[in-house]
């Protein structure tokens, strides 16, 4: 077996409909797949207003997508270990802050040249936002 990459990363959310709106409209991820609400369905797809359990947002494959996973009950938010990449961290920080996204601090350039900051989604999940050093000219 050869591992080719990571297809999806699950993020536990309290309300999948609200999460779709936030991840699409605030974080800027495109809806890639919304499964049907009927678990017995053999085809078709859900909508943002009536999504099934399997929800994927992000770029076309083979790049990694996020899977919004509503498990029912209470979520246990905290650090996810997930880092979102950007080519202009300062602009995205300003855009996301204007939309009410809480950040732990403003973006800072690390000793190794990359820019980094930390933010939370509405469920309290914590993510990093990073601008790799090859995009340093946009900061």
Percent of the chain residues topping a pLDDT of 70: 90
Say what the pTM is. 0.82
Give yes or no: residues 83 and 105 share one domain.
Answer: yes
Pick from 52, 70, 88: which residue ends a domain?
70
- Tally of domains in the chain: 2
What integer pLDDT is reported at residue 138 of this predicted model? Answer: 45
Does some domain include residue 88?
Answer: yes
Each residue of 78-131: pLDDT tens digit? 889 999 999 999 999 999 999 999 999 999 999 889 999 999 999 999 999 999
Each residue of 41-66: pLDDT tens digit? 666 678 888 888 889 999 988 889 99
Domain hosting residue 123, numbered range: 79-138
We report the CATH number of the domain holding residue 119 as 3.10.180.10
**Hey, which bits of 5-125 come out as E strands?**
8-13, 31-34, 55-57, 65-70, 79-85, 108-109, 115-120
Tell me 94's DSSP state.
H
For residue 40, give every residue at least 6 positions away whose Cβ sits within 8 Å of its Cβ, in sequence order, or none. Answer: none
Does some domain include residue 52?
Answer: yes
């Amino acid at each position: 077996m050869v591992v080719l990459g990571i297809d999806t990363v699950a993020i536990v959310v309290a309300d999948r409909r609200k999460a779709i709106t936030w991840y699409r409209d605030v974080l800027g991820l495109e809806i890639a797949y919304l499964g049907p609400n009927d678990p017995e369905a053999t085809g078709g797809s859900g909508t943002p207003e009536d999504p099934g359990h399997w929800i994927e947002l992000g770029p076309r494959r083979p790049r990694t997508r996020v899977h919004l996973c509503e498990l029912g009950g209470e979520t246990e938010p905290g650090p996810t270990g997930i880092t979102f990449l950007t080519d202009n961290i300062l602009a995205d920080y300003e855009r996301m802050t204007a939309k009410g996204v809480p950040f732990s601090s403003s973006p800072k350039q690390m000793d190794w040249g990359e820019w980094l900051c930390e933010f939370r989604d509405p469920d309290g999940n914590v993510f990093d936002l990073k601008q790799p050093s090859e995009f340093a000219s946009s900061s």
